[in-house]
Amino acid sequence: MNPTEKTNPVLGSRPLSIEEVVAIATGAGVRLHDDPAWRERIERGAAFVDRLLAEEGEIYGITTGYGDSCCVGVPLELARQLPVHLMRYHGCGLGEHFSPGETRAVLTARLASLARGYSGVRWVLLERIAALINHDLPPLMPSEGSVGASGDLTPLSYLAAVLMGEREVWRDGQPVEAAAALAAAGIEPILLAPKEALAIMNGTAVMTGLACLAWARADYLSRLATRITALASIATRGNPEHFDPALFAVKPHAGQNEVAAWIWNDLGQLHDGPPMRLQDRYSIRCAPHVIGVLRDALPWMRRDIENELNSANDNPIIDPDNERVLHGGHFYGGHIAFVMDAMKTAVASIADLLDRQLALLVDTRYNHGLPQNLSGAEGARAAINHGFKAVQIGASAWTAEALKLTMPATSFSRSTECHNQDKVSMGTIAARDCLRVLELAEQVAAALTLAVTQGIALRARQGDLPEQRLTETLRQFRDQVGFPFLEEDRPLEAELRATLERIRAQDWELY
């Protein structure tokens, strides 16, 4: 991979954004800031660590054991072997591997933290991590095994191992031995210096990288859910006055008002007669109140994710300016854990909203004149066609699974490692849960996207929906979806997957 310089975020010159992490996760490269003073400061931290070693100073994880073994002294002649042992004994992750894109986000988060200059690592270490990103050789990193403090130790050990030429990396979507892949790319493995394995592993990079990806997906999902709701309102002949700006002016939640205004503008002011009901059912009428919760939460979620992303979050902190070693707990992922637990709850609620809209659309008792299950079959053939019946069952299953996963991971702190890590964040589990909830919610959104497209087409066939009734925005969206009218039953898996792929690629411009 040879990304152009133009698209490569620069690390070290300024704080990194969520959008830049997402760009790197999806193929952009990285550049290290070329300011000599910044590079000199990085090297000064590593030199300070070396000087302490030469003076036989006691530094946690460098001349002592790890965690509960912090009182066990390590002879100086063995200090340089300690990082290798840390990396190797943490090579016990299980579960599915993170995808290459997810792992690129993790590497970016770790590099951003180390680039703060408070970790006592060498410049060459930053260069090697950047090289893994730019040559698209992310480590195979198991997703299970982190309790979120003391950092993401086990999954990040796979990064430390790859830098030393051990374990495996992804190359062109396939697992390859790290030593061979590095050699082919012209990347020299390095022997990690005494503080460097700890600096790589003892931080929040896994949960933070995943949180960046989750935030971007949640933001897009909230916009998509809003547009689908506008179409669902038209398909069910809903009451557009539910989204009147005058109504929302009296309850000034900014995100809720934003969603209502988007729907109001989507619907336009072309009404062909009174709505079917004075008050629509909640899944239509209260959509701004449901989606708005996430819209209002996204700004503070961004704040906390980007604060963590641009922090030094390992232990101990090495202050090269004042030549101090500061022992603390910045590896604790409490903020990311809380964000991910909150996000997955808000996202699952949107999945539930969309599932309820789909249930209204397919049911003749509530869809105000649309055929059962949105089937396009007519006459005698209507008896053997079932339209979206199974799709609605599937959406209900996906929604149920999403709702089940809203149990907060942060509530399940466990005492580990001989009661040294006796209160932990569970941030990485929360982040993994959140991504799974997003995956399920996107599946529900894909189902409803096709269903509202079918519903609009059925209204048009009935003569209930002249073309001018749709605003230009909604016409464009309907046409971009490109769902062929469902007259005779056909397997919809391929069309659902194609729609899901477009949602995840964020193909449609929304608001």
Active site residues: 60
> Using alpha carbons only, what angle is made at residue 431 by residues 91 and 100, rounded to the nearest 5 degrees?
60
- Residue pair 448/357 in contact by the 8 Å Cβ criterion: yes
Per-residue DSSP letter, 455: H
Residues linked to residue 64 through DSSP beta bridges, in sequence order: 73
- SS3 state at 422: coil
- The closest alpha carbon to 212, from 310, 96, 331, 352, belongs to 310
SS3 label, residue 177: strand
Closest CA to 430 of 405, 460, 461: 405
Measure Cα distances from 77 to 62, 63, 85, 294, 315 in Å: 11, 10, 14, 54, 23
List the structure tokens of 423: 């209160």
- Return the SS3 of 73: strand
Closest CA to 155 of 173, 171, 167: 167
Nearest to 112 by CA among 254, 16, 44: 16
Residue closest to 121 by CA, chosen among 159, 155, 91, 92: 159
Distance CA 356, CA 395 (A): 9
CA-based radius of gyration for the chain: 26
Q: Is 200 helix (H, G, I), strand (E, B) or coil?
A: helix
